[in-house]
Amino acid sequence: MTRRPVLLAVPVLAAAVLAGAATAAPAVPRAAVAPPLTCEAGVPSPDGRVFPEPAVAPGWLRLVDFACGLAELEEQFPDRVQVTTTGTSAEGHPVYDVLLTDETVKTPKKKLLVVSSIHGDEIGAREGAARAMEDLLDERFLADEPWVEQVLDRYVIHFLFPNPDGWVEGDVAGSEGAGLSWTRGNSGERDLNRNFPVQGWIDAANGTLQEPESQGITKNLLQGKDWYLGTDNHGQLHDTYAAAGLQIVGQFDYQKSETLARFADGITESMAEYPVLQQMHAVGTAINGDVGPYHWGTLYDMLGYSASGSLIDYYNTASTTDGYGFATELTLGKTVAGNTAAWDPVRAQVWVDSIRAINFEMFRQAVDVKRFTFPVGTRTAYVFDPEVVTSKDGEGYEREEGEDLPQQPYSVSRMRFFTDLNKYASQRLTAVRVPEVLTGKRKLGDFQTVVLADDAMPEKGSRSAWVKALEDFVSRGGNLVVTDAAAPVLAELGLVGEGDVEMTEKYVGYVDFGDRGLKLNAGLRGVASQTYDTVPIGYQFGQVTAPNWTVAQEAWEAGGGVTAGTNGEGRTVYGEKKLGKGKVRFLGALLPQPTEEHYHPYGLQSYAVTYTGYTLLQNMLAR
């Protein structure tokens, strides 16, 4: 597919752009806080655009400027743009939802989502979105590109600007209610990106759905299952890359997980279309350093924390819109105590072009959908656990003061992971049950691999007979995969001592990878360490609650065991060890059963395996 970049005018050394918290060029005072020139009657824009390129723009966009520019675009392109709102903000400003589509094409269309600057002081996303919309509409830029025509024929793109209050707070003048410093939250100081009703652990202090912005978005926009790809674009403090991609984690089947990983990988190529970002790549190559236009991983991999109540998490939830959402962070993009009085065109160009690259790649992939197959290299069985975690049994969480949201029903199990995986597996994984094996109705020897996920023996029977059946299976050449709380069986099989196995709690499911040349570590992508997330399956982040099972590394490696990854503290969390003619492969953090131990008013999800977790499972199922 031919790609034509929007031509830019600001070459800049990446080293200067990314040097500490200072901007790449001295701040330029904004003359009289001027509006976009096209909004002054009879005065042309310096580059002929409604939203000028940062190189020639008079300054940061104020909300009043943006509204004026939207009116211009709607007037110029009435069949392709519709300016709507999802409601009003806490301070009464419109929450813009700008729709781009070819309205002359009347066939049913799916939807794409671009969220910009839900944190009002992370201004780069809205600066980029304004220019990106214009690029898609105007034939002088990209409107006549085949992929643009296709995406507008087949989709309705929703450009959402959810936090006008935080925006106006730094507008200084012109906008109604203008203040002196952009703010993260709305006028009520609420972080809107913690305000959505996600399944999993909820922090009651976040005031879920108590703000008009989140109420309007959930009621008037995020309805139905006709959504596909989406981006949620933010700003962070200093990074040596122009942008960081964050793969959000939830109950993502393999198709969704790989679709988002493909999107993340594609952004790297898309970034290369823009001169200002090409130079960052050149600097990184020249110094062989950790510098460049883009890198990606999970939220925890990239920023070291998780979150609950975010808009993009809600967008991704299978039981709501079931979208395919991804988040990004622009470097130097969190403007602390900033406002429109200080204008930095160089930094703005980096942001604008990063947003173009990210979202244009999403649109290209939306018209080039791929189906993915999870490779299963052996005849594989998984030991089925009939236990279900449900709100129906009355054994759920005992609420504390202030946790008063109505409880939504749920019925979840980690076994759902295998059901979903079979939709995309190259050969089907077969469920086997302990009683079937113990009574001889099912033979483990019919399979090459057997998976024990989180429980070595989930149903009643003779423990010694079950362990003997597992040992015989491996000794005769089988591949036994042991995950999570099934780890004590490693001692019962004689691979380590009983005292060598323990559960440690961490922030998320975590592996500190060793030699990436090992077959068990093949195919690792992005910044890889997180194997499962906590919030969707009920664990509380901010506290160390995620179960990670480990074995003493020295004991594991005695007799030839291989450690492919540790817990970062000298204990094996991932590896393999021979037993007879076969082998046992172990991953202590992948697929724990959801927990009811924390506040979860909107229910729970069944699993939250990351793209790295999928990769490791694929490697463990290989010959």
Residue 371 counted as domain residue: no
Residue 3 counted as domain residue: no
**What residue type is assigned to position 332 of the chain?**
L
Q: Is 82 helix (H, G, I), strand (E, B) or coil?
A: strand
In this structure, the answer to whether residues 166 and 304 fall within a common structural domain is: yes
In this structure, the answer to whether residues 402 and 544 fall within a common structural domain is: yes
In this structure, the answer to whether residues 437 and 585 fall within a common structural domain is: yes
Task: Provide the phi-psi class of 304: left if phi over 0, else alpha when psi is between -120 and 50, else beta.
Answer: left
Count Cβ atoms below 10 Å from residue 179 Cβ, excluding itself: 16
In this structure, the answer to whether residues 430 and 524 fall within a common structural domain is: yes
Q: Which of 333, 366, 399 is the last residue of a domain?
A: 366
What pLDDT score was predicted for residue 623? 85
CATH number of the domain residue 61 falls in:
3.40.630.10
Residue 356 counted as domain residue: yes
What pLDDT score was predicted for residue 113? 98
Sign of CA dihedral 69, 75, 76, 79: positive
In this structure, the answer to whether residues 334 and 404 fall within a common structural domain is: no
Residue 375 counted as domain residue: no
The DSSP element (H or E) to which 499 belongs, if any, is none
In this structure, the answer to whether residues 584 and 516 fall within a common structural domain is: yes
Residue 303 counted as domain residue: yes
The DSSP element (H or E) to which 399 belongs, if any, is none
**What residue type is assigned to position 552 of the chain?**
A
Q: Which of 366, 395, 411 is the last residue of a domain?
A: 366
| Residue whose entry in the numeric block shows the structure tokens 């202030």 | 402
In this structure, the answer to whether residues 401 and 337 fall within a common structural domain is: no
pLDDT over 90, % of the chain? 79
Residue 195 counted as domain residue: yes
Count Cβ atoms below 10 Å from residue 133 Cβ, excluding itself: 24
**In the predicted model, is pLDDT for residue 97 greater than 80?**
yes
Nearest to 81, CA basis, from 144, 135, 126: 135
- The band of 15, judged by pLDDT with boundaries at 50, 70 and 90, is very low
Question: How many separate domains does the chain show?
Answer: 2
Instruction: Indicate the range of 15-24, 422-431, 473-482 predicted with least confidence.
Output: 15-24
In this structure, the answer to whether residues 195 and 337 fall within a common structural domain is: yes
In this structure, the answer to whether residues 410 and 292 fall within a common structural domain is: no
Q: Could you read off the pLDDT of 345-360 as tens digits, one per residue?
A: 989 999 999 999 999 9
Residue 70 counted as domain residue: yes
Residue 6 counted as domain residue: no
Which range marks the domain in which residue 588 is found? 380-620
Q: Is 114 helix (H, G, I), strand (E, B) or coil?
A: strand
Strands 155-161 and 227-235: unpaired
In this structure, the answer to whether residues 359 and 386 fall within a common structural domain is: no
CA distance 21 to 272: 24
Upper half-sphere CA count for residue 397 (Cβ side, 13 Å): 28
Q: Which of 307, 336, 366 is the last residue of a domain?
A: 366
What pLDDT score was predicted for residue 48? 87
- The band of 20, judged by pLDDT with boundaries at 50, 70 and 90, is very low
Count Cβ atoms below 10 Å from residue 37 Cβ, excluding itself: 17
CATH number of the domain residue 457 falls in:
3.40.50.880
CA distance 607 to 366: 26
In this structure, the answer to whether residues 280 and 424 fall within a common structural domain is: no
In this structure, the answer to whether residues 297 and 433 fall within a common structural domain is: no
Count Cβ atoms below 10 Å from residue 610 Cβ, excluding itself: 28
What pLDDT score was predicted for residue 204? 94
